[in-house]
């Protein structure tokens, strides 16, 4: 798609320079443009900042008629339109909360003199709910003036994705009504199953797929155990590695954002917080201060980040567990847009998993701006979506618990990409470790842990189960007479970290399940470990072996003796 000469090639190159001020095309831009202008349905996976907008704005300029762009956020649309108008390209938008008279004016322009607009942006709910819009699109189509349909942030179509938005699912109607009009679906994040889902839901036919590597070689990844003094650890990390540089600290709750920002200020950083309960003026004030380097560090929920193009973000720190690998990858992606070395550090504790799991089940987590305009409170607890969110969260836990495999490989595999860990070149914590790793069979230990959970009536937390397994004689253990259990102390030869890694692996494998029970008025959550009777069968019947890799220098040497 890149080398062939098309009838539009000269005009394309000229406009890229003259109108958009670009000297060349970025990877895949020319290919995508040629494919969509040849009339094909196209699905594009391009990292954030890769230049997706040009792939439809340039064709819109060259082709006769109107390009319809479906984009999820009015603020993003307004930003795009401002840039287009600056470049002298006529564009308009329609959203559900616009005055009816304003909408009427745009509809009038579309039916009388459609050449007035090259691009028409709409929010997805507008397509789902407005018959008037569909009628106008039909009229444009009848006059051969509907040039192309663009679906931005297309991963929102899929329930498997981390930003599912129900209104996006209704967009399949566009292909049904306008089967001959090429559709261009764009996203910066999609696993293979999300991509399949999107292609199917939109009804794309013989779709051409462009995907770019999601590897960001200049980002250095690490996962660090989260202590009670996490913010002090963050302060130390920033002072030692990125003093006075610019970064984002992602926090789970609004209250966390405020607390973390306050503590970082006390430590001498120019920090501020940013979250969904602040009013828009406050948020834009903070964002501007950050862009102008008057503030170095923003402590934010995932509400912060969309449409932010600051090139010199030197670090992205996760104070809590992200909700999915896709979300994590996208949040990290805000670092190092200028290509210079930047750090992505995640502070992980298993107890955060319980907390996030509970928040997800309550629909209480703050959403990315893509979905926050939509009320997800009910969705948070509804069947399949809850299941997907919980699964996505468990994958994230698995990523954090894995202290062996290349972080880059783990992320890229998730996106269906092949990656040779040799190419990581020690830019992640796991590749940096020089320890030799030995694979151990931990099947018998796994069975003992399952038995222990059962013998304690499936009424205790994972932390307590580990205590009993490693032979604790704490008051709590004695109170429940758990020192009398035959399996008490069976795992005393293991390090706490080793035993917990095995137990957490059983949770990741869905053999054991954390049942998050209740949250007190202070927001704390308790969780009981249960046995998944369906999944445990293959372990207990002897079919399933469980193997994990451990550093050869630790107590797991004894583990092998024990296993024999
Ligand atoms: P995405 O939507 O993929 O995140 P954008 O379309 O917003 O990315 O583009 C990111 C930035 O890259 C914008 O500032 C845009 O002007 C710039 N850009 C896009 N294509 C090119 C190009 N071919 N040459 C130089 N800059 C480009």
Tell me the CA end-to-end span of the chain in Å, nearest whole number. Answer: 59
DSSP annotation of 63 reads: S
- Atom 26 (ligand 1): residue with closest C-alpha? 22
Reading the block at residue 193, the tokens are 């199953």
Cα-flanking dihedrals φ and ψ of residue 170, to 5°?
A: -75, -5
In the predicted model, residues of the chain with pLDDT beneath 70 are 3, 113-115, 306-307, 364, 366-382, 434, 518-525, 553-564
Nearest to 455 by CA among 529, 350, 516: 529
307 CA distance to ligand 1 middle (Å): 12
Q: What is the pLDDT of residue 485?
A: 96
- Atom 24 (ligand 1): residue with closest C-alpha? 22
143 CA distance to ligand 1 middle (Å): 32
**Residue found under tokens 């306050």:** 262
Q: 321-353: string of b/e by CB count within 10 Å (b at 16+)?
A: bbbbbbbbbbbbbbbbbeeeebbbbbbbbbbbb
Q: Which atom of ligand 1 is nearest to the CA of 52?
A: 3
Mutation choice for ligand 1 from 2, 23, 54, CB with most ligand atoms inside 8 A: 54
Q: What is the pLDDT of residue 484?
A: 96
Mutation choice for ligand 1 from 52, 53, 86, 212, CB with most ligand atoms inside 8 A: 53
- Atom 17 (ligand 1): residue with closest C-alpha? 51
- Atom 23 (ligand 1): residue with closest C-alpha? 25
3-state SS record for 472-487: CCCHHHHHCCHHHCCC
334 CA distance to ligand 1 middle (Å): 14
Q: What is the pLDDT of residue 239?
A: 97
52 CA distance to ligand 1 middle (Å): 7
Q: From CA 317, how far away is CA 449, in angstroms rounded?
A: 34
Q: From CA 398, how far away is CA 388, in angstroms rounded?
A: 15
Q: Which atom of ligand 1 is nearest to the CA of 47?
A: 3
Its pTM stands at: 0.78
Q: From CA 99, how far away is CA 83, in angstroms rounded?
A: 23
430 CA distance to ligand 1 middle (Å): 33
Q: Which atom of ligand 1 is nearest to the CA of 50?
A: 3
Collapsing DSSP to helix, strand or coil, 440 comes out as strand
Q: What is the pLDDT of residue 553?
A: 65
549 CA distance to ligand 1 middle (Å): 42
Look at the chain and count its residues. Answer: 564
- Atom 25 (ligand 1): residue with closest C-alpha? 22
282 to each of 258, 305, 414, how far by Cα in Å?
Answer: 14, 15, 37
Q: What is the pLDDT of residue 166?
A: 83
402 CA distance to ligand 1 middle (Å): 35
Q: Which atom of ligand 1 is nearest to the CA of 53?
A: 6
Instruction: Give the residues surrounding ligand 1 with Cβ less than 6 Å away.
Output: 22, 24-26, 29, 46, 48-54
Tens-place pLDDT, residues 447-487: 999 999 999 999 999 999 999 999 999 999 999 999 999 99
165 CA distance to ligand 1 middle (Å): 25
49 CA distance to ligand 1 middle (Å): 6
244 CA distance to ligand 1 middle (Å): 28
Report the complex ipTM: 0.99
Q: What is the pLDDT of residue 369?
A: 64
Mutation choice for ligand 1 from 33, 50, 51, CB with most ligand atoms inside 8 A: 51
309 CA distance to ligand 1 middle (Å): 10
């Amino acid at each position: 798609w890149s080398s062939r000469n098309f009838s539009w090639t000269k005009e394309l190159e000229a406009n890229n320079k003259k109108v958009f001020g670009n000297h060349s095309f970025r990877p895949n831009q020319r290919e995508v443009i040629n494919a969509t202008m040849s009339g094909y349905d196209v699905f594009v996976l391009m990292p954030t900042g890769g230049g997706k907008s040009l792939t439809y704005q340039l064709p819109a300029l060259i082709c006769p008629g109107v390009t319809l762009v479906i984009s999820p956020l009015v603020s993003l649309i307004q930003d795009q339109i401002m840039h287009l108008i600056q470049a002298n390209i006529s564009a308009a938008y329609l959203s559900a909360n616009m005055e009816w008279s304003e909408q009427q004016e745009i509809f009038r322009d579309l039916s009388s003199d459609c050449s007035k607009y090259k691009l028409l942006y709409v929010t997805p709910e507008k397509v789902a709910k407005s018959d008037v819009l569909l009628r106008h699109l039909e009229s444009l189509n009848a006059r051969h003036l509907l040039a192309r349909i663009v679906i931005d942030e297309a991963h929102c179509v899929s329930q498997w994705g981390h930003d599912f938005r129900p209104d996006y699912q209704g967009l399949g109607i566009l292909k049904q009504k306008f089967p001959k009009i090429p559709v261009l679906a764009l996203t910066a994040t999609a696993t293979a199953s999300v991509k399949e889902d999107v292609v199917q839901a939109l009804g794309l036919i013989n779709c051409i797929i462009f995907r770019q590597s999601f590897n960001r070689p200049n980002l250095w990844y690490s996962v660090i155990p989260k202590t009670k003094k996490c913010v002090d650890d963050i302060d130390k990390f920033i002072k030692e590695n990125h003093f006075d540089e610019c970064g984002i600290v992602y926090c789970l709750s609004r209250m966390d954002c405020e607390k973390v920002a306050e503590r970082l200020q006390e430590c001498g950083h120019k920090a501020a917080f940013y979250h969904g309960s602040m009013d828009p003026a406050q948020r834009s004030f903070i964002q501007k201060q950050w862009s102008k380097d008057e503030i170095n560090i923003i402590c934010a929920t995932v509400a912060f980040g969309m449409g932010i193009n600051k090139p010199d973000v030197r670090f992205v720190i996760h104070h809590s567990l992200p909700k999915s690998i896709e979300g994590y990858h996208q949040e990290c992606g805000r670092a190092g847009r200028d290509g210079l070395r930047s750090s992505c550090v995640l502070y992980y504790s298993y107890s955060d998993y319980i907390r996030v799991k509970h928040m997800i089940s309550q629909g209480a987590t703050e959403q990315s701006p893509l979905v926050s305009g939509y009320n997800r409170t009910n969705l948070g607890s509804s069947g399949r979506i809850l299941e997907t969110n919980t699964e996505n969260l468990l994958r994230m836990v698995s990523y954090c618990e894995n202290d062996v495999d290349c972080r880059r490989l783990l992320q890229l595999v998730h996106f269906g990409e092949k990656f040779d860990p040799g190419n990581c070149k020690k830019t992640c914590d796991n590749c940096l470790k020089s320890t030799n790793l030995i694979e151990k069979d931990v099947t018998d230990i796994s069975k003992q842990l399952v038995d222990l959970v059962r013998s304690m009536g499936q009424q205790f937390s994972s932390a307590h189960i580990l205590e009993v397994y490693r032979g604790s004689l704490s008051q709590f253990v004695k109170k429940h007479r758990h020192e009398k259990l035959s399996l008490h102390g069976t795992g005393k030869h293991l390090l706490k970290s080793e035993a917990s890694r095995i137990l957490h692996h059983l949770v990741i494998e869905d053999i054991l399940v954390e049942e998050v029970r209740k949250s007190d008025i202070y927001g704390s959550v308790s969780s009981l470990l249960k046995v998944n009777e369906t999944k445990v069968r293959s372990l207990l019947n002897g079919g399933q072996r469980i193997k994990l890799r451990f550093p050869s220098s630790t107590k797991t040497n004894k583990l092998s003796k024990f296993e024999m």
